[in-house]
Amino acid sequence: MVRTEISLFLKNVPGELGKLSSLLSNQGINIDALTIQDASSYVQELFQARGKSLKRIASSASYNSIRKDSSEFALIRILVDQTDKTIDILSKNEYIYDIMPVIAIKLENKPGSLAEVTTKFGKEGININYVYGSVSSPKEKCLFVFCPEDIELAASIFKE
C-alpha cells in the first residue's frame, strides 16, 4: 500500500526525539514506523549523486564543511496515522521536513516473507533505495517500509 513518509532533521542531541514524539502524541498522532540515521551519511549520498550527474552547486571546501555540520543532525523517517495533521504540526513548530511516497507492507513473520517481496521488486526491475521494518512479537505481522525508485510500478505489483 502506498503511504506518505515524512523525513525531517533533528539535532543529534539527547531529548530531541522525545520532543518530537511528545509533540505528536499530545495531538493524538501515532507513529507507525520510524528509522533514524546520522544525517552525514544521507548528505554524503546526496553529494555522491550530484557528483555522478556532474551538477556541483558548491566548491569542494563547502561540501566538506556541510558534511561535517551534518553529523550534528539526525535524519528521521516516519510513517504516521495522520499525515496531514503531522505536516501541519511540523510546519507550525518550524521543523524542516520533506514527504515521499513509499510502499508499506505487512508481512507474515516467517522465513521467506521478505525474500518473496524483494524478489517481486527484482523481477520487475525496481531498485529499492532503502527499507526498514520491525516485528513486535513472533505471532504478529511485520511492517516493512520500502522506498522504490519507481513508486507507480511498485504500487501496481503490491495492490493486495
Domains and CATH numbers, the chain: 2-157 (3.30.2130.10)
C-beta neighbour count of 102 within 10 angstroms: 24
Could you tell me which residues come within 8 angstroms of residue 106 by beta carbon, excluding any fewer than 6 positions away?
141, 142, 143, 144
Sign of CA dihedral 118, 100, 11, 72: positive
Per-residue model confidence as pLDDT tens for the chain (160 residues): 999 999 998 888 899 999 999 999 999 999 999 999 876 665 556 555 555 444 444 444 554 555 555 567 888 999 999 999 999 999 999 898 999 999 999 999 989 999 999 999 999 999 999 999 987 777 888 899 999 999 999 999 987 5
pTM above 0.95, yes or no: no
